[in-house]
Structure 1
Amino acid sequence: MPHDAAISRIATAVKVFYSRKEPYRIFHGSTNSTRPKQQQSFVDISALSNVVKIDPTAKTATVEPNVPMDKLVEATLQHGLIPPVVMEFPGITVGGGYAGSAGESSSFKYGYFDQTVNSVEMVLANGDVVTASKTERPDLFKGAAGALGTLGITTLIELQLIQAKKFVKIEYHRRSTVCDSIEKLQQEIKDPSNDYVDGIIYSKDHGVIITGQLTDEMPEEVNPQTFSKPWDPWFYLHVKDKTISDTSSHVTEYIPLAEYLFRYDRGGFWVGIEAFRYFPFVPFNKFTRWFLDDFIHTRMLYRAMHGSRKEFGNIVQDLSLPYSTAEQFIDYTAEELDIWPLWLCPLREMTPPTFHPYTTLPGPSEDVKPMLNIGLWGRASEDLDTFVSQNRRLESKLTELGGRKVLYSHTYYTEPEFWSLYDKSWYDKLREKYSASSLLTVYDKVKVDVKKAKETRVNLGWSERWRGMWPFAGLLGILGAIRSKDYLLHRNAAWRYGGPEKKTLKES
C-alpha cells in the first residue's frame, strides 16, 4: 500500500477513536516487549514496513516505523552506509527504537537511537498528520521519543547514516573484578578511536570489556569470526572462552560489520539458554545449538515466550545507573538474585524531562551524568507473589541508587511512585497540547496488573490450565512461533553477512 494511502487510512481510524474519547493500542505486527499482553482496541499500522528512500549524499534514510533493523541495515549497506546506532536484535523496528529507549554499544558516542533521528511524521490522537523535528514542533519531537506511542502514532522517520566499513576490529579486555571492569569501560569510552564499547560480567572475578573499531583492513593471516551461522558459537560463549584463562592481556578479532551489529541475535544474549533449562532433557552443547538453530534467534524467542504465556518467572530488565553506584547495584543483584552474566552498555547523558533513563546523582549534585546500563536477564521465582516482591525490591534499590529502568520491561511501581520518577506536569501539558489526553499514558502501558494476573490464574478452566503446565506451555510457544510471520522472516533470510559492497541478507 502506498505510504499516503496508508496514512489516510490510519488517520481516519484514529479520528473515530478520538470522537469517542476511546483509548487504543497500536498493532505493529510484532513486538520485543516482555510485558503481558493486554486486550484493547487497536489501530493497525503493520503495513508501514518499507524503506522509502536512502539518500547517499545527505547520508539519511527515510523509513516507515515497522522496518526491522536487519532490513534497514541491508538497505543502507548497499550504499556503503549504516545507522550510527543499530539495536542488537534484527527484529527490533525503527519505530520501536524511536518510541522506546534503544541503546547499543555505540550509544556512548551517539546517544539513544532517537538521538540519530532528524524528523518524524506523526498521526496525532485527533487524526492530524504533522511533522516534528528539532526545529518544527521540537517539544513533540523530544517528548515522543521514549513515550511509547502515547503522544501519537509515528508513521515515517528520517534518520542519520554514517560511513560503513567492512569489519569491526574487536578487542576483549579481561578484568578480574567488577570495579576494574567498570573503570576499564569508563576509560575506553573516552578513547576517540573506539566506535563501539560494551561489556559482559560473567562473575565477580571475570569481566570483559569489549571495544570495536570500524576498519576496511584485516591482516591476511587472519580469518574473520562470524556468529550468524548455525555452527557458529554464541557470542557471549565465544567471549568467555577467549578470556577465561588470561586475566591480564586482551584478545583481538575481526568481525564482518553486520555480523558484529547482530552478534547477540543467536541466543538473545544468553536468555536463550532458558529454553534448554525448560526442557532439561535437551543438553546445551554445540550440536543441539546447531540442530535447534531456527528456534534460538531472537524473533523466535520472543514469539515463543508470548505463545507460552510465560511472561512471569524470568527477570528481563535493563537498568541504568550512574557509574558511582553501579558496583553497589551489581553487588545487590548478586546477593538477591544471583543472575549472571550481566551486560554493560555505556549511555550518553540525557537531559530531563524525558522517559529515557537519566539520573541526578544521590546527594547535593543536580548535574546530569552519563549512565551505565546493566542488562539483568535471568531466572527468578516462579511463585507470582515472590516474583513480584523480587521486582519491587529491585525497583526500590534502583531508585535508592539514583537509577532508572528502561520501560520495555515489567514495571511494578505504584502510580504515585512512577510519577515521582518522571515529570508528569511536562507530560500532561504535551498531551493536552497535542490532543493526546484520551490515549493511554506511559504508566498505563507499562504497569503490570498483578491483581488481574492473579484473578486470571484462579479463574482458568482446565483446558486453559494445562496450557500453562510443563511441558505444554513451552511446546505451544514453539508452535505459535513457527506459525508466526516472524518465523517466515527468519526462514526466508540466509544469514550470510558481507562487507558494505555486498548485499547483506541474501534471500534464500
Structure 2
Amino acid sequence: MSHEDKLRKLAAQLRATGGSAPLGLAKDTSNLFRDRARQAKQRLDVRAFNEVLDIDRDAREFTVEGMTPYARLVDALLPHGLMPAVVPQLKSITIGGAAAGVGIEATSFRYGLVHETLQELEILLPDGRVVLATPDNEHRDLFYGFPNSYGTLGYALKLKALAVPVKPFVQVTHARFAEPAAFFAALEAACEGDADFVDGVVFAPDELILSQGHFVDTAPWTSDYTYKRIYYRSLRERATDYLTVRDYLWRWDTDWFWCSKNLGAQNPLVRRLLGRERLNSVFYTQVMRWNSKWGVTGRLDRLLGVQRESVIQDVDIPLAHAVAFLDFFHREIGILPIWSCPVRPYRSDVRFTLFPMRDALHVNFGFWDVVRRRHPFAPGHHNRLVEGKVTELGGIKSLYSDAYFDEARFWTLYGGPAYRALKAKYDPEGRAKDLYQKCVLKQ
C-alpha cells in the first residue's frame, strides 16, 4: 500500500470516530519511561507507516515514514554511504518519536537534536486534517512547535531529514580524567576539533572518560560488543578501539548503555542463556514494562526495608555550569555511571517553541537507575531535586520520563502561551491531551 493510501485510510478512520475518547497510538514499542494512567483511548494503528520512501545521496537527505525505527533507517542509508545526521542511541526509537520528543547522540555537538535536522513534517492533526509543515510555509509555527509536543499536537507520518556521509569504520579514542573541570574543558576542545562523534561517561567523581570517534576508511581490527563483550567496560580498558560504523551507532543498544545489569544480563552465564537476539533495548524494555505492571522489584525492596525511586532522566546543562551540576548530582543523587554528551543548537537563528535551548554548548547528562535509601523520603524527592537544580542552572530536561513540575513552572519553562496558541489552531476540539496532562499528570 502506498503512503498516500495509508494516509487516506488513517485520516478517514480518525474523522469518522468522533471525539468520545482521547487519542493514543497503537504501536509495538515505546521509549517513554513514565507509567501512565490506564484509561480508555481511541487507538490509532500507525504501525504500517514504517518505510523509507526516498534517499537522495546527492542532496544528502531522505524521506521516511514516522514509525520507522532507526535500526531500519540506518540499514537503508548505510549502503548509500549515508546515515541520519543524529542517530539516537536505541534501535527501537522511531524517527517520528524522536521528532515529537527529543533525540540526541554523539553527533549532537555538530548537528543539534534530531528535530533540528528535519526539513519538513507531514502531520496528522487530532481532528483528521493532514498538514505539511516546513520552516517557511504557512504551518511553520507547527514545524517549530512540534518537537517536544509528545503527540499532543498530532503525529508525524512522513518526514524529510538531513543525512551525512560516512566511512566504513569508526576509530574511537578514550581519554581518562580525574578532575571534572579538566574533563569538561577537554570535551569543549573536542567539539571545536575534527571529531565526528564526541561523548563521555562519568564512572566516579574522580574517573571521567572522554570518547572521540573519527570515521576511517580502514581498521586494523574491529571489536564486537553485540554479545559476549560489553561496550561501556571497554572505555576503561582501551585507549583506542575500532568498530564498523553500524556497530558504533548501536554500541549502547546491546546493554541499554549499562542498564542491562539490572536484569543480570552482564553475567556471562545469563548472557549466554539470553543469546545475542535478546541482548537489546527492545527486550529490556519489555522486561521493564512487565516489572512495572507487577511491581516485582518494588516488593523485593520493601521486604528488604529499602525505599526506592526511579531516577531516569536526560537533562541539558550549559557547559559553564556542568561542574556545578555534577557536584550536586554526586552529593544528592549518587547514581553512576552518567552519560555526558555535548549538544548545541544546529542553527543559532531559530528557536523551537517547546524545547528552547540557548545558543551555546550544553552537556546532556543521562542517568537511568534507581535510588535506594534506608531512610524514608517523599515520593518523587530525588527527581524534584534534579528538576530544581536544572532550572536553577538555566538548563532544560526532556519529558520522556517522570516530571513533577507544578503547572505554572512547567508552562514557564516549556512555552505556555505559544503552546496554547498552537493547541487552539491545530487541536481546537481538544481531542488530544495537553502537554502538562500527558507529561506530568501522566494521563
TM-score by length of 2: 0.89
**Partner residue in 2 for 1:211:** 212
Residue pair 1:173, 1:208 contacting (<8 A) in 2 also:
yes
**Partner residue in 2 for 1:330:** 326
Matched, 1:442 2:435: yes
**Partner residue in 1 for 2:7:** 7
1:395-410 pair list within 5 angstroms? 395-410=387-402
Cα gap change, 1:385 to 1:27, in 2 (>3 Å):
farther
1:99-498 pair list within 5 angstroms? 99-136=100-137, 137-191=139-193, 193-218=194-219, 222-228=220-226, 230-231=227-228, 233-242=229-238, 251-276=239-264, 284-293=266-275, 294-309=277-292, 310=295, 313-349=309-345, 352=351, 354-356=353-355, 358-359=357-358, 368-381=359-372, 386-436=378-428, 438=430, 439-448=432-441
Distance in 2, matches of 1:223 and 1:426, equals 52
**Partner residue in 2 for 1:485:** none
> 3-state SS of the aligned residue for 1:78?
helix
Distance in 2, matches of 1:56 and 1:176, equals 43
Structure 1 counterpart of 2:440, which letter? K
Structure 1 counterpart of 2:368, which letter? W
Query: Cα offset for 1:89?
Result: 0.8
> 3-state SS of the aligned residue for 1:358?
coil
Query: Cα offset for 1:370?
Result: 2.4
Matched, 1:52 2:53: yes
Cα gap change, 1:423 to 1:357, in 2 (>3 Å):
closer
Q: Cα deviations across residues 11-52 of structure 1 (Å, max 9, x unaligned)? A: 1233245x4375312233210111103334122212211112
Cα gap change, 1:370 to 1:16, in 2 (>3 Å):
farther
Query: Cα offset for 1:387?
Result: 4.4
Matched, 1:27 2:26: yes
**Partner residue in 2 for 1:469:** none
Structure 1 counterpart of 2:195, which letter? N
Distance in 2, matches of 1:369 and 1:67, equals 31
Cα gap change, 1:51 to 1:353, in 2 (>3 Å):
closer
Q: Which runs of 5+ in 2 are unaligned?
A: 299-307
Alignment RMSD (CA, Å)? 2.2
Distance in 2, matches of 1:199 and 1:9, equals 45
Structure 1 counterpart of 2:125, which letter? L
Distance in 2, matches of 1:431 and 1:16, equals 21
Query: Cα offset for 1:353?
Result: 5.0
Structure 1 counterpart of 2:257, which letter? F
**Partner residue in 2 for 1:477:** none
Distance in 2, matches of 1:391 and 1:429, equals 30
Residue pair 2:96, 2:155 contacting (<8 A) in 1 also:
no
Residue pair 2:175, 2:209 contacting (<8 A) in 1 also:
yes
> 3-state SS of the aligned residue for 1:288?
helix
Residue pair 1:380, 1:387 contacting (<8 A) in 2 also:
no
Query: Cα offset for 1:358?
Result: 2.3
Q: Cα deviations across residues 401-448 of structure 1 (Å, max 9, x unaligned)? A: 212111111111121221121221111111222235502111111114
Residue pair 1:225, 1:253 contacting (<8 A) in 2 also:
yes
Cα gap change, 1:172 to 1:257, in 2 (>3 Å):
same
Distance in 2, matches of 1:329 and 1:205, equals 15
> 3-state SS of the aligned residue for 1:32?
coil
Residue pair 1:353, 1:422 contacting (<8 A) in 2 also:
no
Distance in 1, matches of 2:386 and 2:371, equals 12
Structure 1 counterpart of 2:103, which letter? A
**Partner residue in 1 for 2:304:** none
Distance in 2, matches of 1:22 and 1:274, equals 37
Distance in 2, matches of 1:171 and 1:339, equals 25
Distance in 2, matches of 1:352 and 1:63, equals 24
**Partner residue in 2 for 1:363:** none
Residue pair 2:146, 2:153 contacting (<8 A) in 1 also:
yes
Query: Cα offset for 1:87?
Result: 1.0
Matched, 1:77 2:82: no
Residue pair 2:340, 2:366 contacting (<8 A) in 1 also:
yes
Query: Cα offset for 1:357?
Result: 5.7
Q: Which runs of 5+ in 1 are unaligned?
A: 243-250, 277-281, 360-367, 453-508
Distance in 1, matches of 2:335 and 2:410, equals 25
TM-score by length of 1: 0.78
> 3-state SS of the aligned residue for 1:313?
strand
Structure 2 counterpart of 1:440, which letter? K
Distance in 2, matches of 1:63 and 1:387, equals 41
Residue pair 1:166, 1:216 contacting (<8 A) in 2 also:
yes
Q: Report the more deviating stretch, 325-334 or 53-62.
A: 53-62
